[in-house]
Amino acid sequence: MSKKSSAIRPSFWALAIGLGAAGLCSLNADGQERLPTTAAPPPLTVTAKAVTADVNVTDAQMLAADKDLDNWLLHGRTYDSQSFSPLKQINAGNVGKLKPVSLIQTGIAGSFENTPIEVNGVLYIVTSADHVQAYDAVTGETLWAYNPVLDRSNICCGPQAKGVAVAYGKVFVPLLDGKVVALDAKTGEVVWTAKQADILPKPYEYYTFTSAPQVYDGMVLVGNAGSEYPSRGFVEALSTTDGKLMWRFNTTAAPGEPGGDTWSGDSWSRGGGAVWNTPAIDVKNGLALFAVANPNPDYQGEERLGDNAYTNSIVAIDVHTGKFKWYYQEVPHDLWDYDAVSPVVLFDAKIDGKIVPAAAEAGKVGFTFIVDRLTGKLLHKTPYVKMSDNMFAVPTANSITRYPGINGGTLWSTPSYSPLTHNVYELGVNEAYSIVTRPVEAIKPDVVMQNQRTGGGQRAEPDVFTPSGNISAINVDTGKMAWQVETKYPMYGGILTTASNLLFTGEMTGDVDAFDSKTGKKLWRYNLGAGVCTPPITYRVKGVQYLAVGASGCARGRTYVTAMAKQQYGDVVAIFAVPGK
């Protein structure tokens, strides 16, 4: 059967996108997921029905995304990554009637951290292990699928992918093996591939991509995943035309650079500092802002004396050149894996009667940091999870139990900001973990191994207190907690707020929830079976508002879903609407 066939039988379609899925979530010895090996890979691209809608997203459309009532064009809907929609059709009065109108089965059962992109009625998603799929955003009808054949890569923390970018008639996809591809947005065919040798330092196996890219002014911005290797993290810009490298900003400060004196010896050259999240763009001031992860080795700092800039920091660079502007370090000289991995969100705060352009990031350390986005000056620092008195005790070979643990605080979860409430909304994790050091492995040339050179590890200690999660609303003007709702299990995924003062999110239980964003009162829930640990989005097609969210389980939820007698993974994307609308 031709890959261009206009009619694909369901059995073939399941085969085309599902080969290898059974082995997708196999584990390494340390319990982390690894990439599958597949004897017979599926076709690279399968086009069931070419897209007929206009999906040629322009710069003008992306710059005006805040005024677009129909589409979700960017990872955080707008360049400021607020994940706020001006739609009001679904509101407190009718949200209780919200029902699924379509259930998409992707055929890939694996942790699904993707924020979908919706363009003129077409929904673009990426599953675990980088399968990209396009669907009708109302009916869920399959349009096309891209099934990459991935090279060997030493991924740190599972084959999750957080999203794609759609612009200029292309879909941009950073891959787990360190390549970046551009696909035709109508057919899924490969337009170009940026190979490791052209865009990565050596050894290539140290570098992977799991975050959603950001497209801006002819550039696609990507950041590397994993700080568990003797490597140097980065954010870089590739040409959207051909994938050529345009600039790279390294996230460990070298001698002669600002912060270059915060590393001893040459430790900066292998100091980690991955960028797990999608940069936000301050268009007016020409800035890209993002959070940087932990230094390497994770749990021992003897060979990297100093504060280790720019790790565990909010960083601002010139979006056109990649030149450094400023950084605010949340945890200097990190020894606890308290890295900053969730996206930065931009907004204006009213401080002492003056409007200040601001940015916020919720770190694993358990504080939401609000800074002046032009200078990096700290404005507010708000705790939102449980914190033990010994959370900053120096780890040793003797186990220490403290909290937050390795999952935060906040892990990768996307925040939201509502200009109506002036609240930034975050998902939280309350778990106790023990931490212990072990000898740091010597660097062995040409040898790549899982989580190389961490210098220690962590283990959950649920007997210290019952783990839980929360949703926090923090007023950006005052830094004070507006409200907080506790959840039975830790929260991963993301938050959406709307102009009807609704807040949508999901839970490990399989529930999709709606809350009043002003008060935190729960207004609606719908159970999708598998854990909902993905960010929801909303959009409008032919005047009807829809909500879309993935239910494919939670990579960090194995213990919890076992206790709930649920499968850890699923493969569903659900599309909701109010009946009659």
For β-strands 84-85 and 496-498, DSSP reports them as parallel
Domain-embedded: residue 515: yes
Confidence check: pLDDT of 73 > 90: yes
Q: Tell me the two tokens of residue 195.
A: 């190979």
**Which one is predicted more confidently, 166 or 444?**
166
Residue 243 has pLDDT above 60, yes or no: yes
Is the residue at 405 inside a domain?
A: yes
Q: What are 538-573's pLDDT values in tens digits?
A: 999 999 999 999 999 888 888 888 888 777 888 999
Percentage, residues of the chain above pLDDT 90: 81
pLDDT tens figures, 416-439: 999 999 999 999 999 999 999 998
Q: State the pLDDT confidence band at 34, using cuts at 50, 70 and 90.
A: very low
**Alpha carbon distance 444, 239 (integer Å):** 34
Q: Of 34-38, 59-63, 345-349, 440-444, where does mean pLDDT reach its minimum?
A: 34-38
For position 111, what pLDDT does the model report? 82
SS (H, E, C) 63-112: HCHHHCCCCECCCCCCCCCCCEECCCCCCCCCHHHCEEEEEEECCCCCCC
Do the domain assignments include residue 2?
no
**In this structure, is residue 75 part of a structural domain?**
yes
What integer is the mean pLDDT of 280-285?
A: 98
Structure tokens, 62 = 């992306």
Task: State the residue for tokens 């990459």.
Answer: 148
Q: How confident is the model at residue 534 (pLDDT cuts 50, 70, 90)?
A: very high
**pLDDT at residue 535 greater than cutoff 50:** yes
Which run of H or of E encompasses 558?
helix 558-563
Q: Reply yes or no on whether 477 is catalytic.
A: no
Query: What count of other Cβ atoms lies within 10 Å of the Cβ of residue 19?
Result: 18
Does residue 4 lie in a domain region?
Answer: no
Q: Please check the confidence at residue 475 and state whether its pLDDT lies above 60.
A: yes
Read off the pLDDT band of 228 (50, 70, 90). Answer: confident
Q: How many folded domains does the chain comprise?
A: 1
Predicted confidence band of residue 203 (pLDDT cuts 50, 70, 90) = confident
CATH number for the domain that contains residue 119: 2.140.10.10
User: What's the pLDDT at 446?
Assistant: 65
295 pLDDT higher than 50:
yes
Does residue 175 lie within any of the structural domains?
A: yes
pLDDT > 70? residue 370: yes
Dihedral sign for Cα atoms in the order 134, 410, 204, 258: positive
- Per-residue pLDDT reduced to its tens digit, 74-122: 999 999 999 999 999 999 999 999 999 999 999 998 888 999 999 999 9
Per the model's pLDDT, the better-predicted residue between 39 and 288 turns out to be 288
State the pTM of this model: 0.93
Determine how many CB atoms are found less than 10 A away from the CB of residue 198: 13
Asked if the model's pLDDT at residue 496 lies above 60, the reply is yes
The answer to whether residue 3 sits within a structural domain is: no
State the pairing for strand pair 433-437/481-487. Answer: unpaired
- Cα torsion angle, 33, 37, 42, 47, sign: positive
Cβ neighbors of 408 (< 8 A, separation 6 or more) are 362, 363, 364, 365, 366, 385, 428, 429
In a domain, 98, yes or no: yes
Q: Supply the pLDDT for residue 159.
A: 85
Residue 177 CA: distances (Å) to CA of 165, 194, 238, 346, 460: 18, 11, 17, 31, 30
Q: Residue 299 is part of which domain span?
A: 10-441+451-577
Continuous H helices in 192-291: 196-199
Q: Which of 337, 339, 477, 511 is catalytic?
A: 337
Does pLDDT of 490 surpass 50? yes
Q: Percentage of residues in the chain with pLDDT exceeding 70?
A: 91
Asked if the model's pLDDT at residue 362 lies above 60, the reply is yes
Answer for the pair 124, 573: CB distance below 8 angstroms, yes or no: no
